[in-house]
Chain A
Amino acid sequence: MSQPLLSVKGLSTEFRTERGVVKAVDDVSFDLAAGETLAIVGESGSGKSVTAMSILRLIPNPPGRISAGEVVFDGRNLLEMSDAEIRAIRGNRIAMIFQEPMSSLNPSLTVGLQIAEPINLHRKTPWAAAMDKAAELLARVRLPDAKSRVKAYPHQFSGGMRQRAMIAMALACQPQLIIADEPTTALDVTVQAQILALLKEVTRAANSALILITHDLGVVARYADRVCVMYGGRIVEAGPAREIYARPRHPYTIGLMASVPRLDQEAGSRLVPIEGSPPNLANLPPGCAFAPRCRRAADICRQRPMLVRSTPDHLSACHFHAQLSAHVGT
């Protein structure tokens, strides 16, 4: 088997808070192949965004700290690199797209300049040529009037246009990996579909890998090849998207799927909610973090379940993974 593009092993990230040290990401491991789309799914506090930020070492320290693990990208551990080395990776070989494009764009610089900057910085392309490239990129993300909009400022763009500009910026140096953290949550439904389709199209064309961080199971179903489901800072289930949706092997995943209404389902049926609330990371239960909300919870769940292979390509962190039925919602 060829080497994965990205291999995250035993990654843990903690934050110092008033209530003590909180482990936001706890022993997270996954691999990503070149050109693959991996979705990291979870609710607030699941650790999905902190995982993404940790990969690029964007965790503010203090209060945050990557306390264990390695992030091997193209054969090198990003966590052991010097600051100069990681800066040469960011925006160049790994690009990131955030939820709020307005807060990741500089309001006082033109959009074109901000897209040209990484090209000039990383590729040593002269400014004039980099600006031409920026216009080309804006056209590639199908921004209307791309040529004249190079000189526009972020506030002159709508939310959807800003996210197109962010994608153009991410593509600037033809990265091998793009990490998109809830890239469309702030957008309208029809624009969300446009942006995600665009992101998928451009990453496929460039054979870039994509990590898509989302809470939306529909988005995952439409765009992801593989899925990691996170809960309480840990991966509770991982595998190919089709496999996870057809035969989920963790009660949390099963519960999530039963609790979202589907457009193609008989209307009027009752949803099956997951009782209780997502856990407080400062006060996680011992053992399985999902146990207090789990209908199957038993004594053994007070021991932490390891993420094990339930089938050759399907991992589950549930003591009962082998017994979980093949049907969603049972």
Chain B
Amino acid sequence: MSVPETVLEVRDLKVHFPVMAGAVVRKQVGSVKAVDGVSFNVRRGETLGLVGESGCGKSTTGLAILRMIDITSGEVMFEGEDISAYDRSRMRPIRRRMQMVYQDPFGSLNPRMKVSEIVGEPLEVHGLAGDRAAYDARVAALLDMVGLLPDMADRYPHEFSGGQRQRIGIARALALEPSLIICDEPVSALDVSIQAQVVNLFQELQERLGLTYIFIAHDLAVVRHISHRIAVMYLGRIVEIAPRGELYAKPLHPYTQALLAAIPIPDPEVEATRPQQIITGEVPSAMRPPPGCRFHTRCPRVMEVCKSLDPPMRDMGGGRAVACHLYEA
């Protein structure tokens, strides 16, 4: 079997936001290290899940890859091209191949545009719209792909439910047949019964069109369900990366273990026998991350070395890697 092609490779990505103070003379007093040395790759046709709690940098990572925010340092190799230093005009053709699906199906669609305009806009922007008939046919095909009816093209976003709006957002992302779709919390604003519809749609489209996704979410159960591999993030770093099966069966990093233990399983029989190890404390500020391992302030297995030495990412074989002193040889 051939090795699947790498679509995206991120190396030591850092995104630091300056923190300014002073009413008259503004000067930088610190920085928020939202993403602080993140490396991973995404292969064609796979879904990589990015999971973590607020402030872990998962959304910032997605925005940095799309170059919607500036990168402080590091490399973003997209289809073999280092785009980390590209300016707006050079990013334009790249954006054709990289699309985003947003969390908020209410805020991310222009209320004054018809569905056909929303879905077809990327075609217009990139000069691919063709004549009226070709455009209409393409929009109809896109709507059909996401399970919407052709006659919905002339309606406005407010006429749709949350789940349908998310389908419109997905149709728009698909319009340019991108190589990579970054989905930022695409189902977390939806009702439970609707989430499964959208999750299934993502999976069906991947099978049919060979799509590649980065799926960013805080809900580990949803992420594990849809992703082939999962990167767990904490305070701007990836602490563990693993194929989905192993991540639940044998989580290595104490934070991954804590995250899994915190998520209740919808079955009272299972819950009654599950050990309830709940970690204490909350995520520290990304402006002043703890020295050493960033998780050491909450880690149930903290050692002396963790307080001063930042653990490097260590390859554990089988597609697994973990950044934790417990696994040093």
- Chain A residues with a Cβ under 8 A of chain B: 43-44, 158, 160-161, 188-194, 197, 215-224, 241-242, 245-246, 255-264, 267-268, 270-275, 277-278
A217 to B276, alpha carbons, bound, how many Å?
A: 17
Closest residue of chain A to B247 (Cβ to Cβ) is: A267
Q: Are B161 and A190 in contact (CB under 8 A)?
A: no
Number of A-B contacts (CB under 8 A): 140
In the complex, chain A residues whose CB is within 8 Å of the CB of B200: 270-271, 273
Binds A, one of B31-39, B131-139, B277-285, B319-327: B277-285
> Could you tell me which residues of chain B, from 261 to 284, have a CB within 8 Å of some CB in chain A?
261-271, 276, 278-280, 282-283
17 contacts between A and B (CB under 8 A): A188-B53, A188-B218, A190-B262, A190-B279, A194-B278, A194-B280, A221-B266, A221-B267, A221-B268, A222-B268, A224-B268, A245-B266, A264-B248, A264-B265, A264-B267, A271-B196, A271-B225
A320 to B264, alpha carbons, bound, how many Å?
A: 30
Q: Are A278 and B191 in contact (CB under 8 A)?
A: yes
Q: Are A197 and B196 in contact (CB under 8 A)?
A: no
The reply to whether the CB of B260 lies closer than 8 angstroms to some CB of chain A is yes
Q: Are B265 and A221 in contact (CB under 8 A)?
A: yes
Closest residue of chain B to A189 (Cβ to Cβ) is: B262
The reply to whether the CB of B57 lies closer than 8 angstroms to some CB of chain A is no
A246 to B271, alpha carbons, bound, how many Å?
A: 13
In the complex, chain A residues whose CB is within 8 Å of the CB of B283: 188
Q: Are A43 and B221 in contact (CB under 8 A)?
A: no
> Could you tell me which residues of chain B, from 193 to 219, have a CB within 8 Å of some CB in chain A?
193-197, 199-200, 203, 218-219
Q: How far is the CB of B278 from chain A (nearest CB, A)?
A: 5
Interface size on B, residues (CB 8 A): 46
- Chain B residues with a Cβ under 8 A of chain A: 53-54, 161-164, 191-197, 199-200, 203, 218-222, 224-225, 244-245, 248, 258-271, 276, 278-280, 282-283
Q: Are A193 and B278 in contact (CB under 8 A)?
A: yes
Q: How far is the CB of B149 from chain A (nearest CB, A)?
A: 14
Q: Name B's interface SS.
A: helix
Closest residue of chain B to A231 (Cβ to Cβ) is: B193
Q: Are A222 and B196 in contact (CB under 8 A)?
A: no
* Contact among B248, B264, B278 with A218 in the assembled complex (CB-CB below 8 Å): B264
Q: Known contacts A188-B218, A189-B259, A260-B192; is A218 also within 8 Å of B197 by CB?
A: no
Closest residue of chain B to A269 (Cβ to Cβ) is: B225
Q: Are B265 and A245 in contact (CB under 8 A)?
A: no
A62 to B199, alpha carbons, bound, how many Å?
A: 40
Q: Are A193 and B262 in contact (CB under 8 A)?
A: yes
Q: Are B225 and A273 in contact (CB under 8 A)?
A: no
Q: Are B268 and A190 in contact (CB under 8 A)?
A: no
A256 to B266, alpha carbons, bound, how many Å?
A: 10
In the complex, chain A residues whose CB is within 8 Å of the CB of B162: 277
Closest residue of chain A to B279 (Cβ to Cβ) is: A190
Q: Are B192 and A215 in contact (CB under 8 A)?
A: yes
Q: Known contacts A44-B191, A222-B271, A264-B270; is A273 also within 8 Å of B221 by CB?
A: no
Q: How far is the CB of B251 from chain A (nearest CB, A)?
A: 11
Q: Are A160 and B282 in contact (CB under 8 A)?
A: yes
Q: How far is the CB of A229 from chain B (nearest CB, A)?
A: 12
Q: Are B220 and A263 in contact (CB under 8 A)?
A: yes
**5 closest Cβ contacts across the A-B interface?**
A218-B264, A273-B196, A261-B225, A259-B196, A217-B266
